[in-house]
Amino acid sequence: MGDTKTLPLLLLKEAVLFPGMMLYIELEENDPAMDVVRAATKSREPLFATYRFAKLGELPEVLDEKNQPSVIASIGTVCVAPNVIHTPKGKYRIMLRGLERADAGFIPDDSVKKVEVTPYPLELRPLTQVESEAMKRELVSKFNEFAEKNPKMSKSALEPLLASETVDRMIDQGCYLIPIPMPVRQGLLEAKTNIERFQRLLGVLSTEIEIMSIHEQIHKKVQVNIDKNQKEYVLREQLKVIHEELGDVGPSDEGERFRRKVAELQASDDIKNVILNEIKRYQSIGNNNGEGGVIRNYIETMLSLPWDKVSEDNHDLKLAADILERDHYGMEKVKERIMEFLAVRSMTTNLNSPILLLVGPPGTGKTSIAKSIAESLGRQYVRVCLGGVRDESEIRGHRRTYIASMPGRIVMGLKTAGTKNPLMLLDEVDKIGSDYKGDPSAALLEVLDSAQNNKFVDHFVEQPVDLSHVIFVATANTTETIPRPLLDRMEIIELSSYTKNEKLHIAKEHLLPKQLEQHGLTLKQLGITDKAMDSLIEFYTREAGVRSLERKLGEICRKACRKICEDKENEVKTGKINVSDKNLEAFAGRKKYRKEALDKKPLVGVVHGLAWTSVGGVLMDLEVGLMPGKGEFVLTGSLGDVMKESAAIGRSYLRSVADLLGIEESLFREKDIHIHAPEGATPKDGPSAGVTMVTAMYSALSNTPIRQDVAMTGEVTLRGRVLPIGGLKEKLLAAKSNGMKDVIVPEANRADAEEISEEIIGGMQLHFVRDVKEVLDIAKA
């Protein structure tokens, strides 16, 4: 192109054309610019394409004679339109190819059709190879950083730019490819030198990168500072839609389901209002956070409690008696108490439910009798094991402020039963502990007080729960570890050890049929004679209850099963297996206990005492020896403090009445007295061995033989009085099983002895004594 030439003017509103670049534009059919393109294409002459500024703030510093800025850039690009395509939408797609830069001077407005343009060449200042390489590297670095910050631009779009061989070509490509504002592009087009253009492009890139960095920081801060409740609301709405798509139940639907359950709930209006208020809270909060889960758990717990749901009691006394007799042999006191309750309940409904404490050795049926009581009354049975419980919250429940909190065992028992009047067994109440978390036995005071348990408040439920209709049956092996205030609230029924005859009946009527059923056997396949059963009781199991006996019967059943199976595999016909006293060892093993032969002739310093333990009564021998010394007093055999005190009391009593009993007083100064209780590994304690120790010391000091068919028990005082003892039935059982003919018992225990069956007392002579002198008169040979 010459120095000056008149060319058609093409105004670009949304693009800036650079030399050497291809640019596509779209024009409407009636657009004036389209007439310019048609004329130029027809005459095959080039066009002058320049940018038309759209906003007042974008106007360049080009002024007319009236000092008014022009809206049309004077610097543009001479170009050709080699291709014009008519699109299906009625528009024209035109391809422009830039040739060179040109200056049209001042262009007043859009009405100008043609302009005189002069070339506006780029001044190329010489660059060394090092400068050129440095400029290229700087541009590459900025282009890459720009692409990383700008999410609209991919790195693949930079590939032709980065492949440019010269800095000028790279700048031309960058001006065309980089998404920067049009006025900025126009400024790059108007740069006079290559150095100025480089600096302008570098400045533009740096500015855009900084703007994008600041925008990113602001965006992150805004995201962090979004209101938490708004965020939760959005997530909750999204989750609601997800639940609807999946067919799950949301808080609103669940709230309606809860309301329907409240309408069906058998409870007072106060309880229903509490639940309805919690449902409102749950619906407003939803179940997507911790508090919503706690409220939902509370609502479900409240709805599952039997507030006013009562099961109907059985008033058929004969049926109740048959059930109690069917499942348990003996236990007359327990059965009598339950029958009395039923009889009174049939007369009035105002009777408070009894609170019973069954005390007895292990294996005597305390837990199992509770099931039978529940069945005989027609009530639900719930067992609450309290052995080892140390946390008060186990009884009263956990407060709702804790995640995963739950009601206490009492309320959970009601929930399990499904009625407000079940029979609740408080098992092992004597083994409750206490620590820094509280004392569970103190929490039980309200539960087991019939005067105030009608408004028991659980920490979780926080509403009064009526426990007055619940029959509480507690079990314990001893009352010594139960706090006195708690013991005072319960009606104590003692279950003593079983006699040999009772064990035989229990084994034949209950234990053996149960074991046969569990092992898939019948009475036609296995039978045990009475003599074999007697031997099992006497030589294999020495216990107050029948647990070990049941295990031995299970062992016999297992061996019988094995024999039947082996014979079947060997094609040997097996008849009925009869276990007798002769072949018992083949099924039950060697005998664990043997009868110790007692001395028939009287002995000096050896006396049979009777002791009570948690597993029943035992015969306890006491031996006293004298040796030269200085009057020292030695006690051995793992004796407890109370037993040591009893020995000291007996020694002092004998010394005080030595002349009356024919004992030389000098012996207490010149002889050492050694009292020993055999089986030293077994701890022994209690005051009931007092008369035994006095008798043994008297025998040794006076060299008087003592009958070996006599056993005794009783506490002794410094004045020689004999005081009452406990566990008389168990002690008499021990005396009977060891072949004693005479038993010395405190006079104060005569009433207890009258309640003991003839089966235990039969064959023995009971002597009721008031002081030690009577004991000595009976025991002396």
Instruction: Tell me the pLDDT tens digit for each residue of 577-600.
Output: 888 888 888 888 888 877 666 667
pLDDT the model gives residue 61 = 47
CB 357 within 8 A of CB 483: no
- How many C-beta atoms lie closer than 10 Å to residue 136's C-beta? 16
Residue 508: burial class (beta carbons within 10 Å; 0-12, 13-18, 19+): middle
pLDDT the model gives residue 66 = 43
Query: Taking 70 as the threshold, does the pLDDT of residue 247 lie above it?
Result: no
Q: Given CA atoms 124, 130, 136, 138 in this order, what sign does their dihedral have?
A: negative
Residue 118: pLDDT band by 50, 70, 90 thresholds?
Answer: very high
Residue with tokens 């093409």: 10
Does 366 qualify as catalytic in the annotation? no
Residue 500: burial class (beta carbons within 10 Å; 0-12, 13-18, 19+): middle
Distance CA 10, CA 113 (A): 8
Residue 330: pLDDT band by 50, 70, 90 thresholds?
Answer: confident
Higher pLDDT, 41 or 58: 41
> For the chain, what is the mean pLDDT?
84
Instruction: Tell me the pLDDT tens digit for each residue of 604-613.
Output: 999 999 987 7
Residue 597: DSSP 8-state = P
Query: Taking 50 as the threshold, does the pLDDT of residue 64 lie above it?
Result: no
> What percent of the chain shows pLDDT beyond 90?
18
Higher pLDDT, 301 or 242: 301
> What percent of the chain shows pLDDT beyond 70?
91
What kind and span of H or E run contains 100? Answer: strand 92-103
Higher pLDDT, 236 or 74: 74
Overall average pLDDT of the 305-310 stretch: 88
Q: What is the DSSP string of 443-505?
A: HHHHHT-TTTGGGEE-TTT-SEE--TT-EEEEEES-STTS-HHHHHTSEEEE--PPPHHHHHH
pLDDT the model gives residue 243 = 60
CB 18 within 8 A of CB 49: no
- 607: tokens are 């006396």
Paired strand residues for 9: 48
Does 688 qualify as catalytic in the annotation? yes
Choosing from 503, 731, 736, 737, which is the catalytic residue? 731
Paired strand residues for 115: 7
pLDDT the model gives residue 62 = 46
Overall average pLDDT of the 657-676 stretch: 89
Instruction: Tell me the pLDDT tens digit for each residue of 449-508.
Output: 888 888 888 888 888 888 888 889 999 988 888 889 888 888 888 887 787 778 888 888
CB 753 within 8 A of CB 766: yes
Instruction: Tell me the pLDDT tens digit for each residue of 394-434.
Output: 888 888 877 778 888 999 999 998 898 899 999 989 888 77
CB 75 within 8 A of CB 95: no
pLDDT the model gives residue 67 = 45
Non-local CB neighbours of 155 within 8 Å, separated by 6+ positions? 144, 147
pLDDT the model gives residue 59 = 47
Higher pLDDT, 333 or 512: 512
pLDDT the model gives residue 662 = 86
pLDDT the model gives residue 88 = 82
Overall average pLDDT of the 12-22 stretch: 85
Query: Taking 90 as the threshold, does the pLDDT of residue 714 lie above it?
Result: yes
Query: Taking 90 as the threshold, does the pLDDT of residue 711 lie above it?
Result: yes
Of 329, 328, 379, nearest in space to 354 by CA:
379
CB 706 within 8 A of CB 699: yes
Higher pLDDT, 715 or 253: 715
Q: Which of 168-172, 650-654, 736-740 has the weakest average pLDDT?
A: 168-172
Choosing from 393, 688, 699, 737, which is the catalytic residue? 688
Paired strand residues for 744: 712, 767
Higher pLDDT, 351 or 743: 743
Higher pLDDT, 69 or 473: 473
- 154: tokens are 């991919």
3-state DSSP: the chain helix, strand, coil percent, rounded to 5? 45, 20, 35
Higher pLDDT, 224 or 552: 552
Distance CA 136, CA 487 (A): 97
Residue 204: burial class (beta carbons within 10 Å; 0-12, 13-18, 19+): buried
Overall average pLDDT of the 755-773 stretch: 88
Q: What is the DSSP string of 652-691?
A: HHHHHTHHHHT--TTHHHHEEEEEE-S-TTS-B--STTHH
- 71: tokens are 């809206």
Query: Taking 60 as the threshold, does the pLDDT of residue 58 lie above it?
Result: no
Query: Taking 50 as the threshold, does the pLDDT of residue 56 lie above it?
Result: no
Residue 29: burial class (beta carbons within 10 Å; 0-12, 13-18, 19+): exposed
- Rounded to 10 deg, the angle between the 182-189 and 194-224 helix axes is 160
Distance CA 373, CA 327 (A): 10
- 688: tokens are 């009931």
Distance CA 636, CA 693 (A): 13
Instruction: Tell me the pLDDT tens digit for each residue of 119-159.
Output: 988 888 888 888 888 888 888 888 888 888 877 777 677 77
Chain centroid to CA 129: how far? 76
Distance CA 295, CA 413 (A): 21
Non-local CB neighbours of 238 within 8 Å, separated by 6+ positions? none
pLDDT the model gives residue 315 = 78
Distance CA 208, CA 202 (A): 10
Overall average pLDDT of the 11-20 stretch: 86
Higher pLDDT, 291 or 134: 134
Residue 319: pLDDT band by 50, 70, 90 thresholds?
Answer: confident
Overall average pLDDT of the 311-317 stretch: 83
Q: What is the DSSP string of 8-26?
A: EEEEESS----TT-EEEEE
